[in-house]
């Protein structure tokens, strides 16, 4: 299966100069957990997640009026529409990311998340394994216990 078949085409984006509070409201209002940060020409450069806002900004005591670009995750790990799901999954696990923006010709074409993999492929075991590997990769020594 290729990323083109499971990616979400509507990606929520913001400019690096946008205030963190505005981007947090954008996440809330759009029902998403991440926003891709784009340069003035629309090219994706970074990503900020709801976790970044909570851990880096709120817990760090930073002002919500700061530019989101100063607190976004870099480098941006991306895939391509024709990439096989297995290759994308390996890339996500290798970099410990739960979301993979999909670029076509340098432009943002969509995004694939662990949820997309679970729901759109119907393979909950693959999604569970990937989630465990991403968490364990991001938090060395953490043991992911499947309660199901």
pLDDT above 90 covers a percentage of the chain that reads 49
Question: Taking residues 66-88, what's their average pLDDT?
Answer: 92
For position 137, what pLDDT does the model report? 58
Query: What pTM value is reported for the model?
Result: 0.82
pLDDT above 70 covers a percentage of the chain that reads 86
Band of residue 144 on the pLDDT scale cut at 50, 70, 90: very low
Question: Taking residues 87-101, what's their average pLDDT?
Answer: 88
Question: Taking residues 23-51, what's their average pLDDT?
Answer: 94
What does the block give as tokens for 101?
A: 């923006």
Question: Taking residues 20-28, what's their average pLDDT?
Answer: 96
Question: What φ, ψ does residue 110 adopt, rounded to 5°?
Answer: 175, -170
Band of residue 55 on the pLDDT scale cut at 50, 70, 90: confident
Q: How do residues 112-132 score in pLDDT, each as one tens digit?
A: 988 777 777 776 777 677 767
Q: Mapped to the 3 state alphabet, what secondary structure does the chain carry?
A: CEHHHHCECCCCEEECCCEHHHHHHHHHHHCCCEEEEECCCCCEEEEEEHHHHHHHHHCCCCCCCCEHHHCCECCCCCECCCCEHHHHHHHHHHHCCCEEEEEECCEEEEEEEHHHHHHHHCCHHHHHHHHHHHHHHHCCCCCCCCCC
For position 82, what pLDDT does the model report? 97
Which residue, 64, 73, 56, is CA-closest to 21?
64
CA distance 10 to 25: 17
> Which domains can be identified in the chain, with CATH numbers?
3-138 (3.10.580.10)
* Least confidently predicted of 58-62, 72-76, 134-138: 134-138
For position 135, what pLDDT does the model report? 64
């Amino acid at each position: 299966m290729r990323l083109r078949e499971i990616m979400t085409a509507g990606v929520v984006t913001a400019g690096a100069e946008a205030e963190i509070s505005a981007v947090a409201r954008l996440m809330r209002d759009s029902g998403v957990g991440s926003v891709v940060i784009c340069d003035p020409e629309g090219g994706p450069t970074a990503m900020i997640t709801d976790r970044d806002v909570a851990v880096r900004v709120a817990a760090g005591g930073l002002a919500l009026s700061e530019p989101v670009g100063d607190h976004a995750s870099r480098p941006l790990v991306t895939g391509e529409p024709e990439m096989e799901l297995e290759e994308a999954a390996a890339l996500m696990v290798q970099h410990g990311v739960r979301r993979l923006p999909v670029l076509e010709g340098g432009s943002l074409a969509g995004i694939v998340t662990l949820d997309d993999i679970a729901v759109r492929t119907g393979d909950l075991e693959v999604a569970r394994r990937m989630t465990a590997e991403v968490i364990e990769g991001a938090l060395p020594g953490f043991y992911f216990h499947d309660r199901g």
